[in-house]
Structure 1
Amino acid sequence: MKNAAYLILLLLTSCASNDRSIKVKGSDTEVNLAVTLAENFYKVNHEFSLAISGGGSGLGIASLLNGQTDIANSSRPLNAEEDSLFKVRGIKLRTVIFAEDATAFIVQKTFPLDSIDVGTLKKILNGQYKTWKAVTGRDIQINIYGRQSNSGTHSFIRKKLKIEFSRDAKEMNGNAQILEGIKTDASGIGYVGVGYILHSGASQPIKVLKITEKIGQVAVSPLDKQAIMARRYYFQRPLYQFIPETSWKKVAAFIAYEKGTAGKKIIQSSGYYIIAQNQ
């Protein structure tokens, strides 16, 4: 299942013409939010049809390069190779930053610690620590639940920590699989978008770890809204939408809805954040 694309698909159809038919593909972190925004947009804009699917930031960007989507949702910026390909193909893009996300590290509720420091996290994720003994005193194997390399979250964590992931890390197809894996694995640690945790219910048998950048500093939770607004959480990032200039006219109403009062309320109620300079 390593190469299978995780897919959530929403189809909202009407008798819309091609200039009112919008396809959105990409980030698994953003897909639940995109579905909710599309559903509510459609309630007041029946002349549009919308198709929303996930699969990862890399898939969304590749679909944009191949002319298969109008909006690529991405939890990371374009890399140098992608940027070059768009230029070579003469595809002019508009970039929209419409929300801020915090990536949460999760373990089972029975995990003996409530927080973890960045240095220790590096050693866990790059495979330097094979067991939990140095961290919790438990001499049991560490199981890492992560994403595939086409995931923006995978790329974000790798670059933020300046690591290569352990070869033993499990490459899951999306947030849902990571969450399910952690629920049944007392040795597991994984990372998911905090919005996904809130969207899937607060009664999950998991623990969201607080993060300290350095040992001795105050631990910060990705669930702490004030900390996110103050940019004090180590693993927070903007969420992107890349749109080719040729699609801008037909998606402009949807983008305006996202950035309007109703859209902002949906973004915030879904567990994501709006930072002042991104409005």
Structure 2
Amino acid sequence: MKYLSGIFVLLLLGCSNNDKSIKVKGSDTEVNLAVNLAEHFYKINDDFSVAISGGGSGLGIASLLNGQADIANSSRPLNDEEDSLFRVKGIDIKTVVFAEDATAFIVQKDFPLDSIDVATLTKVLSGEYKNWKPVTGQDVVINIYGRQSNSGTQSFVRKKLKIEFSRDAKEMNGNAQIMEGVKMDVSGIGYVGAGYIMQDGTNQPIKVLKISREQGEAAVSPLDEAAIVAKKYYFQRPLYQFIPIKSWDKVSAFINFEKSPAGRKLIQASGYYILD
């Protein structure tokens, strides 16, 4: 396994038969989970080869359009332009929703608040507030750690808040870089997948903010499984896999493994949710 420039790459080599060689590209939110699933899939299907890389949902979808992937992992649905391009190219797509994720907003562990409401978060991330003083009373500049425009998580947060991100927001390659930035910055705020927090961030010097829809309402944590199952958290979303119909026969064994009791157990153990 390698981690290069924010792109996590796993290559499991089995036979060289192209009918059992699967390429998975896309969402950094899903990449650690995909790696975990692929490793366990390979233990019982060692005649397959599976290559997984991140780089963002947009990159995964573009890879499908260019014929460079069999599965695009995406933390957002296709947009209108992408849907049109698939139709123009005559590429029929099958969509699989295999898990539910929540986006977590993180700050340093000593940040003076434990929760934030949606309206205030909107002002922070859009750049309307450039200083934490209206929020925490502390006169320090806000530093935003986010993702690039090809990120499904960036698109998801932007659409949920109906904003354009502040021009001062730092664009990071993935969850790990955002985590590193925030834990070193007393005035930083960033967003990462809750699954990533559960897997890699519980011992980090960061705090996961609870989110309330309105001021005065109860705040909900993205790490609260009961709240996610009840769909009470504002920033929760399905995780997608887009698969060209021509690749379906090749990848169906992997998809079936994801849906099996063993696969579901791995998904939940990795900090993601399954909503039946």
Contact kept? 1:72, 1:242, Cα under 8 Å:
yes
What per-residue deviation string (whole Å, max 9, x for no partner) do you get for residues 145-195 of structure 1?
000000000000000000000000000000000000011000000000000
* In 2: Cα distance, 1:201 partner to 1:16 partner: 37
Q: How does 1:1-279 map to 2 (within 5 A)?
A: 6-276=6-276
The 8 Å contact of residues 104 and 194 in structure 1, kept in 2 or not, is answered as yes
Q: What letter corresponds to residue 133 of structure 1 in structure 2?
A: K
Residue type at the aligned position of 1:210? K
Deviation by residue 1:188-207 (Cα, 9 ceiling, x = unmatched) = 00000000111114211000
Question: Which stretch of structure 1 is more off in the superposition, 109-118 or 198-207?
Answer: 198-207
Q: Is the 8 A contact 1:6 1:56 kept in 2?
A: no
Query: Per the alignment, in what secondary structure is the counterpart of residue 7 of structure 2?
Result: coil
What residue ranges of structure 1 are gaps of 5+ in the alignment?
none
Contact 1:5 1:56 in 2 (8 A): no
Equivalent residue of 1:95, what SS? strand
Whole-Å separation in 2 of the counterparts to 1:166 and 1:273: 31
Give the partner amino acid of 2:202.
A
Q: In structure 2, what is the Cα distance between the partners aligned to 1:259 and 1:216?
A: 40
Contact kept in structure 1, 2:6 and 2:177, CA below 8 Å: no
**3-state DSSP of counterpart to 1:8:** strand
Does the CA contact (< 8 Å) of 1:116 and 1:211 recur in 2? Answer: yes
- Runs of 4+ off more than 2 Å: none
Q: Quote the Cα distance in structure 2 between the aligned partners of 1:16 and 1:113.
A: 54
Instruction: Give, as a single letter, the amino acid of the residue that structure 2 aligns with 1:72.
Output: A
Alignment RMSD, CA only?
Answer: 0.9
Q: Confirm or deny: 8 A CA contact 2:75 2:239 kept in the other structure.
A: yes
Query: Aligned letter for 2:108?
Result: Q
CA–CA separation in structure 2 for the residues paired with 1:186 and 1:248: 47
In structure 2, stretches of 5+ residues that fail to align are none
TM-score for both structures, normalised by structure 1: 0.97
Identity of aligned residues (%): 74
> Residues of 1 paired with 2:98 and 2:45: CA distance?
20
Alpha-carbon spacing, 1:5–1:59, altered in 2? closer, same or farther (3 Å): farther
- Give the alignment's TM-score, normalised by structure 2: 0.98
Paired residue type of 1:253: A
Write the deviation string for residues 45-95 of structure 1: whole angstroms up to 9, x where unpaired: 001000000000000000000000000000000000000000000000000
Whether the aligned pair in 1 keeps the contact of 2:106 and 2:206 (CA below 8 Å) is: yes
Residue 15 (structure 1) shift: 1.8
How far the C-alpha of 1:5 sits from its partner, in A, is 6.5
Distance in 1, Cα, partners of 2:9 & 2:208: 28
Q: Deviations over 1:93-143 (max 9, x none)?
A: 000000000000000000000000000000000000000000000010000
